[in-house]
Amino acid sequence: MEKTNYKLVLSCPSGLSPSQVSVVFDPSYDRIAHPDIELENSISEIWDQRVQKNASLYNGKKFRYGGYTLCNRGGSQQDFHVCLHLGLTDYRTFVGTNLNPLWEKFLVPSEDDLMQCQHTSSPLGNGAILETSDKKIVVLQRSYNVGEFPGHVVFPGGHPEPEEVGAASHQMGERLTNSEHNNTKVSQEMFDSIIREVVEEIGVPVTSLCNPLFIGISRRVLNVRPAAFFFIKCNIESKEIQRLYAGAQDGYESTQLYTVSLVSSNSFFLIDVSIGFFSTNKC
């Protein structure tokens, strides 16, 4: 099976719980401005053009992916730990770098992903591999009105949101002055946000969802956009999910919900539906 559209940056095959995932949120992981002034100025030009066509565009803050560290302190699955390195970016810079028609000019020739993408916005998206109670996987066909990849089939997802944890700047407010506490809040947002996205895009109640497991990070080859992926079990059958989808809060972002059969082999599953290739143990 070819995997040319996405690069698997990090794979956690058995899935990691929130206690096994931490975050360092720090300005050292922010984007570095490109030395080419004309290219850098194109960010504002492209954004202004977009806003003229669509005045409802909002320049929201996003977490920027800046790498990770992985360790296994004791040798068992429970001893695996991932620390995500996150900076801060915004939608305007994403549109002007990753979605720029000249996006490849923002890349640095390097085999190192982080070095290669140091001038791009690279907001960390998220996606859910959602398994129904009758062993189906949920995917959505994106609306033709969305700004990125309209009409494509994707997993439900979106972004963790800095504003949800008071992280719209690196000064997180008087109540969040302790950096370790700040990092804990951002780490929890990684898991809380994917639950929100599933509930809002599909329409299932939050009580129907098991705790998410972090299973890895992929990076799109086209425009080098990264996304964190999670595995979530839902205790509702696929037919009922189809009914609930009709009333989903963010149903306007997609035009159709599909459920596809799980390909099982020795308690593992493999998925390749437009957004990448992942494998994980069933819970």
Q: What percent of the chain has pLDDT over 90?
A: 69
Give the C-alpha separation, 235 to 216, whole Å.
Answer: 23
Question: Hey, what are 256's tokens?
Answer: 């159709």
Residue with tokens 């143990």: 281
Those residues whose C-beta lies under 8 Å from the C-beta of residue 48, and which sit 6 or more positions away, are none
* pLDDT: which is higher, 176 or 27: 27
* Three-state DSSP state, 201: helix
Residue 120: the pLDDT is 98
Cα end-to-end distance, the chain, whole Å: 25
pLDDT higher than threshold 70 for residue 281:
no
Give the C-alpha separation, 197 to 262, whole Å.
Answer: 22
pLDDT higher than threshold 60 for residue 139:
yes
Cβ atoms of 70 and 80 closer than 8 Å: yes
* Three-state DSSP state, 236: coil
- Is residue 108 packed enough to be buried (19+ CB in 10 Å), middle (13-18) or exposed (0-12)? middle
Cβ atoms of 92 and 45 closer than 8 Å: no
- Which uninterrupted H or E stretch holds 42? helix 37-53
Backbone angle region of 135, left / alpha / beta, with phi > 0 → left and psi within -120 to 50 → alpha: left
Q: Are strands 125-131 and 226-233 parallel, antiparallel or unpaired?
A: parallel
Q: How confident is the model over 38-47, as pLDDT tens digits?
A: 999 999 999 9
In 203-237, where does DSSP find H-type helix?
Answer: none
pLDDT higher than threshold 90 for residue 182:
no
80 pLDDT band (50/70/90 cuts)?
confident
Q: What is the pTM of this model?
A: 0.87
pLDDT higher than threshold 70 for residue 133:
yes
Q: What is the DSSP letter of 175?
A: G
Candidate from 21-30, 61-70, 251-260, 263-272 with smallest mean pLDDT: 263-272
Give the C-alpha separation, 73 to 22, whole Å.
Answer: 15
Residue 5: the pLDDT is 84
In 101-210, where does DSSP find H-type helix?
Answer: 113-116, 179-202
264 pLDDT band (50/70/90 cuts)?
very low
Cβ atoms of 16 and 80 closer than 8 Å: yes
CA 178 to mean position of chain CA atoms: 26
Q: What percent of the chain has pLDDT over 70?
A: 85
Give the C-alpha separation, 246 to 227, whole Å.
Answer: 26
pLDDT higher than threshold 50 for residue 267:
no
